[in-house]
Amino acid sequence: MVSAVAQARPAEIASGPHRRVRIGRWALNGAAALALGFILLPLALVTWLAFFRQEIPSFPPEGYSLQWFGAVFNNKSFVGGFLLSVQVAIAATLIGLALAVPASLAVTRRRFRGRGLVNALLLMPLIVPGVVLGTAIYVFQIEAEIATGLPLLGTTAGLIAAHALIVIPWAARLVSASLAGFDPSIEEAAKNLGAPPWTTFRRVTIPAIWPGIVAGALFGFVMSFGNLEMSLFLVGAGRTTLPIAILQYLEWKIDPTVAAVSVLQIALIGVAMVATDRYVKISQVV
């Protein structure tokens, strides 16, 4: 009897930690599921609303229709805003990458005084609120026009320059993450074999950090494309980006057209992210 109890006691002791581990895993999975549901619920509601048949949203819906997607393409403000947003986002992404990649290489590979300050400045646009950043750039462009006589405020070039500021932090952070996992000895081996610095950078460094560059470009494009606060201060008269066009539409109408625009944006960005990750594997960086 004593031996049987002695044999059963270790089994009970062993089962206790395993039970606590299972409970903890269930609790963690449950919390993750709740967080994911909280994030996806607005997207699901907006998508559902885009297919309502009635003009004034009400629950339950009276029926379903695709008419609001046709209304999006028939609205010149939405189409013009989309084209301007794409143009600005592409140009800002290219400029942001051209500045962020060398800066990331310098901060990651070099040791110099003020390195931490430079790294903080690269990420500063993520910390500053959009309204404050838009106001600051607005005042700067006015002062720059007075000092140089160059037209900046209200021009596409001025808007692109401002949007490049919000691309740089994403590109710099993701490229730095790629560089952190890249062994510099591979570059040294290429140089020892006679490759010039530019050839080493083009043939060795760029392919190694390519997922970070693509991820930075993708996220920077999304942030620029959907920016509202800063663009409100800088867009020119008679021109509007897509987020501003949506805001102006909501001032006069509340119908599922705005939801249809949002669904199209979500679908466009989602397809771009899935297709990009399939060929570049940005999930290794993000």
Same domain for 196 and 248, yes or no, is: yes
Task: Please report the pLDDT score of residue 190 as a whole number.
Answer: 79
Same domain for 138 and 165, yes or no, is: yes
The answer to whether 92 touches 220, Cβ cutoff 8 Å, is yes
Task: Please report the pLDDT score of residue 87 as a whole number.
Answer: 92
Residue 155 DSSP code: S
Does residue 116 form part of some domain?
Answer: yes
Same domain for 91 and 188, yes or no, is: yes
Q: Please give the C-alpha separations between residue 160 and each of 73, 133, 216, 224, in angstroms, as whole numbers.
A: 25, 14, 17, 9
3-class state of residue 52 by DSSP: strand
Same domain for 146 and 42, yes or no, is: no
Does residue 54 form part of some domain?
Answer: no
Does residue 59 form part of some domain?
Answer: no
Does residue 135 form part of some domain?
Answer: yes
Does residue 58 form part of some domain?
Answer: no
List beta partners, residue 52. 64
Task: Please report the pLDDT score of residue 111 as a whole number.
Answer: 77
Does residue 210 form part of some domain?
Answer: yes
Q: CATH no. for residue 134? A: 1.10.3720.10
Number of folded domains in the chain? 2
Distance CA 192, CA 190 (A): 5
Does residue 60 form part of some domain?
Answer: no
Range of the domain at 9: 1-49
Task: Please report the pLDDT score of residue 93 as a whole number.
Answer: 93
Distance from chain centroid for Cα 60:
34
Task: Please report the pLDDT score of residue 98 as a whole number.
Answer: 92
- Interacting residues of 262 by C-beta distance below 8 A, sequence separation 6+: 46, 50, 246
Distance CA 223, CA 82 (A): 14
Same domain for 104 and 228, yes or no, is: yes
Same domain for 24 and 121, yes or no, is: no
Does residue 57 form part of some domain?
Answer: no
Neighbours of 200 (CB within 10 A): 18
Same domain for 41 and 97, yes or no, is: no
Same domain for 156 and 185, yes or no, is: yes
Distance CA 143, CA 155 (A): 15
Same domain for 104 and 229, yes or no, is: yes
Same domain for 26 and 101, yes or no, is: no
Same domain for 89 and 40, yes or no, is: no
Same domain for 29 and 123, yes or no, is: no
Task: Please report the pLDDT score of residue 97 as a whole number.
Answer: 92
pLDDT tens, the chain, 286 aa long: 445 545 555 555 545 667 777 777 888 888 888 888 888 888 888 888 888 877 777 777 777 888 888 888 888 888 888 999 999 999 999 999 999 988 888 888 777 777 778 888 888 888 888 888 888 888 988 888 888 888 888 888 889 989 999 999 988 888 888 887 777 778 778 777 777 878 888 888 888 888 888 888 888 898 898 888 888 888 877 788 888 888 888 888 777 888 888 888 888 888 888 877 776 666 655 5
